[in-house]
Amino acid sequence: MLHDPLVPLSDSFGRTVTYLRVSVTDRCDLRCTYCMSEHTSFMPKRELLTLEELDRLVSAFVDLGVRKLRVTGGEPLVRRGIMTFFQAMGRHVRSGALKELTLTTNGTLLARHAAELADCGVKRVNVSLDTLDPAKYGRITRWGRLENVLGGIAAAQAAGLRVKINTVALRGQNDDELFRLVDWCAEQGCDLTFIEVMPMGEFGVEDRLSQFWPLSELRAELETRYRLADTALSTGGPASYVRVAETGQTIGFIRPLSHNFCATCNRVRLSCRGELYTCLGTEGSSDLRPALRDGEAGLGLYAAIQTALRLKPAGHAFGYLAGGVQGAMARGMNHTGG
Ligand code: SAM
Ligand code: SF4
The 10s digit of each residue's pLDDT in 173-220 is 999 999 999 999 999 999 999 999 887 665 655 566 788 899 999 999
120 a known binding residue?
A: no
68 a known binding residue?
A: no
The reply to whether 299 falls in a domain is: yes
Distance 314 CA to ligand 1 centre (A): 24
Domain residues for 202? 19-336
Q: How confident is the model at residue 147 (pLDDT cuts 50, 70, 90)?
A: very high
190 a known binding residue?
A: no
The reply to whether 97 falls in a domain is: yes
The reply to whether 141 falls in a domain is: yes
- pLDDT, tens only, 269-281: 999 999 999 887 6
The reply to whether 8 falls in a domain is: no
Residue from 128, 195, 113, 129 nearest 161 by CA = 113
Cβ 26 under 6 angstroms from ligand 2: no
According to the model, what pLDDT value does residue 209 have? 75
Distance of CA 84 to the CA centre of its chain: 20
- pLDDT, tens only, 75-104: 999 999 999 999 999 999 999 999 999 999
The reply to whether 106 falls in a domain is: yes
- pLDDT, tens only, 286-325: 999 999 998 655 569 999 999 998 887 777 665 555 555 5
The reply to whether 85 falls in a domain is: yes
Pocket test for ligand 2, best of 22, 34, 36 (most atoms within 8 A of CB): 36
- What 3 state SS string does 176-221 have? HHHHHHHHHHHHHCCEEEEEECCCECCCCHHHHHHHECCHHHHHHH
Identify the CATH number of the domain in which residue 224 sits.
3.20.20.70
Q: Please give the helix or strand (H or E) that residue 158 lies within, else none.
A: helix 146-158
Whether 221 shows a pLDDT value over 90: the answer reads: yes
Q: How many domains does the chain have?
A: 1
The reply to whether 75 falls in a domain is: yes
Cβ 211 under 6 angstroms from ligand 1: no
CA angle 325, 326, 328 (to 5 degrees): 80
Instruction: Check: CB of residue 185 under 8 Å from CB of residue 150.
Output: no
Whether 5 shows a pLDDT value over 50: the answer reads: no
Spatial distance between the Cα atoms of 79 and 73, rounded to a whole number of angstroms:
9
Instruction: Check: CB of residue 142 under 8 Å from CB of residue 156.
Output: no
Cβ 140 under 6 angstroms from ligand 2: no
Q: How confident is the model at residue 1 (pLDDT cuts 50, 70, 90)?
A: very low
Residue from 266, 334, 278 nearest 307 by CA = 278
Pocket test for ligand 2, best of 23, 28, 108, 193 (most atoms within 8 A of CB): 28
Instruction: Check: CB of residue 67 under 8 Å from CB of residue 268.
Output: no
Q: Side chain identity at 242, as an amino acid letter? A: V
Beta bridge pairs of residue 168: 195
The 10 Å CB-count burial string (b at 16+, else e) for 285-305 is bbebbebbeeeebebebbebb
CA angle 103, 337, 316 (to 5 degrees): 125
Instruction: Check: CB of residue 218 under 8 Å from CB of residue 195.
Output: no
The reply to whether 252 falls in a domain is: yes
- pLDDT, tens only, 120-142: 999 999 999 999 999 999 999 99
Distance of CA 179 to the CA centre of its chain: 24
